[in-house]
Structure 1
């Protein structure tokens, strides 16, 4: 039994329908978005999962990666504000937020981001001194991120991070910076030494001042005591007490002999003729002391005798 022309047409039609169905079913992997074009014009975006399009009038345009991506910024030479030439490289992170804008607003997305980042690195770092570049890397990264993200916003992407990896000044400049750092450290060390010497001298002067003050105070008190003793002896002499005068003279004589005997260069001490009078004076002082103690003992016994008897309980 042969097939008619109608049967062949049905088979061909079914076969075409199956092919169209396979072509119209689109599976989008996770992390990607596909753009759909109808007669070359963007119509919609396909999200991850199973999607169906009209394969006769529509086709997949761009397959955009929606995950965060990293872009390596190559090394370039930059002239700083103080005319120092440094080699700088970096890295940029970006993420596509709008697949249609990233696909149709700019041609060559990665190349556009790369050139935009390099240009802004030259602009930002060229307006700073070398010392600022080496010490304010965080501020540079923050400024670059703000500028580049604002410029790339119409492309439907988000610049998440811009990092400067290396800043390499020339070898002769590095050597000059090393000498400058060494000179600065030596300067600080000399300043610290001078401050320490200054403090030491101040403390030493304060110690001498305190010692001199205390010596003067001691001499003043000794002079006051000497004047007081002389006044007491003078008053005793005025009252006719010759023994006080003898005591004062004997005391001074004894102190003078003590200083003579304690001298390191004196081996033999020659006693003057007045030594006998000194001994007599000392004996007189001893007699005076015994009389004083004897009189005090007699007065104490008299007081003890004159004291009334103590009556204990139970005694008549």
Structure 2
């Protein structure tokens, strides 16, 4: 998938918003469903993703700068990342559901809705499976987001894992979410995870657009007068993230947000960009771990005992 922003039609917003703004209120079932107009459902849920990413990026860039200034610096407030990370995951999942609600509003009395909904789910199945698995584990099994950092030299990589229960009642990276890597528990680096979520948000938007055009007959218009809010700031900060990943992520596809020569950004996944720390190196892991009343042991990520 590849996107260029800003676009001529909708600026920094996904182009589907031009379809949604053109819908007359009387032509949708949003009132019957107790929802906002489809354009506003999209607008609010999309900006929730952007705002949560900006808050996380601001915290991350501040800590990365402190590490460059002092190679001994390690964040002592890692738990402060927890809510911001959760919000990014939650609002990303909520955005997918918002797009599903938009389809239902637009095609509320149309026999094509079932087929359109199935096609949208198929288009977004890979990303939907990733975020829904995490949200379901948190919701139904009371899992927690556990931030941690790795550091070496002037480099700092902050990440997280979803804490689950390992054999023997040990706490560690949930095996239903995180694969093992050479016998080590793993996590998600924010350097890779944030662009992954944001690029997929545009991909989900593109899927919604194609399904709406196919099944509703809506036509695209221009609405590039909408202010970019904090979207341009968000992608500016993402484009400055170093391609420093955790060991297992080095073997994964690379999401890329890159500043264009003239204006805006190129969003691409997978991309051909080169990871900066492909060679094996020693890294120090720091984390804040809360043990339970009965669960008295834990297994840290990227540790081979």
Normalising by structure 2, report the TM-score.
Answer: 0.21
- Between structures 1 and 2, the one with greater helix share: 1
Bigger CA radius of gyration: 1
Indicate the structure whose relative CO is greater, using CA pairs within 8 Å and at least 6 residues apart. 2
Normalising by structure 1, report the TM-score.
Answer: 0.21
